Chain A
Amino acid sequence: MSRAIEDRNRRMLRARDTIDRSFAAPLDVAALARVAHVSPAHFSRQFRAVFGETPHRYLQRRRIERAMELLRDTDRPVTDVCLDVGFASLGTFSRTFSAVVGESPSAYRERTQATRAPQYVPACLEKTLRRPVGAPLP
Chain B
Amino acid sequence: MFKHITHTTIYVTDQDEALAFYVGKLGMVVQTDADMDVMRYLTVTLPDDDSLELMLLLPGPPLHDEATAEQVRELIAKGGAGGGVIFETDDCVGTYERLRDLGVEFTQEPTERFYGTDCALRDPFGNPLRFTERPATSARPAGRAAAAPPR
A123 close to chain B: CB less than 8 A: yes
Bound complex: CA of A118 vs CA of B77, how far in Å? 33
Q: Give the A-binding residues of B (Cβ under 8 A).
A: 13, 70, 73-74, 76-79, 84, 86, 105, 107-108, 111, 113-115, 118, 120, 122, 125-126, 128, 130, 132, 141-144, 147
Contact of B78 among A50, A119, A122, A124 (CB under 8 A): A50
Total residue contacts A-B, CB cutoff 8 A: 64
Contact of B108 among A10, A14, A123 (CB under 8 A): A123
Q: Could you pull out 21 A-B pairs where Cβ atoms are within 8 angstroms? A: A5-B74, A6-B73, A6-B76, A8-B77, A9-B74, A9-B78, A10-B78, A10-B125, A12-B78, A13-B122, A17-B105, A17-B122, A21-B107, A50-B78, A118-B142, A119-B147, A120-B115, A122-B130, A122-B132, A123-B108, A123-B120
Distance in angstroms from B8 CB to nearest chain A CB is: 15
Distance in angstroms from A93 CB to nearest chain B CB is: 23
Q: Give the B-binding residues of A (Cβ under 8 A).
A: 2, 5-10, 12-14, 16-17, 20-21, 50-51, 118-120, 122-124
Contact of A9 among B86, B118, B126 (CB under 8 A): B126
Q: Which residue of A lies closest to B140 (CB)?
A: A120
Chain A residues in 8 Å Cβ range of B13: 6
Contact B130 A17 (CB under 8 A): no
18 additional contacts (CB under 8 A) given A8-B77, A17-B122, A21-B108: A5-B77, A6-B74, A9-B74, A9-B126, A13-B79, A14-B105, A17-B105, A17-B107, A20-B107, A20-B108, A21-B107, A118-B142, A119-B147, A122-B132, A123-B118, A123-B120, A123-B130, A124-B128
Contact B126 A124 (CB under 8 A): no
Contact of B77 among A13, A119, A123, A124 (CB under 8 A): A13
Q: Shortest 5 CB-CB distances between A and B: which pairs? A: A9-B77, A120-B141, A9-B78, A119-B143, A10-B77
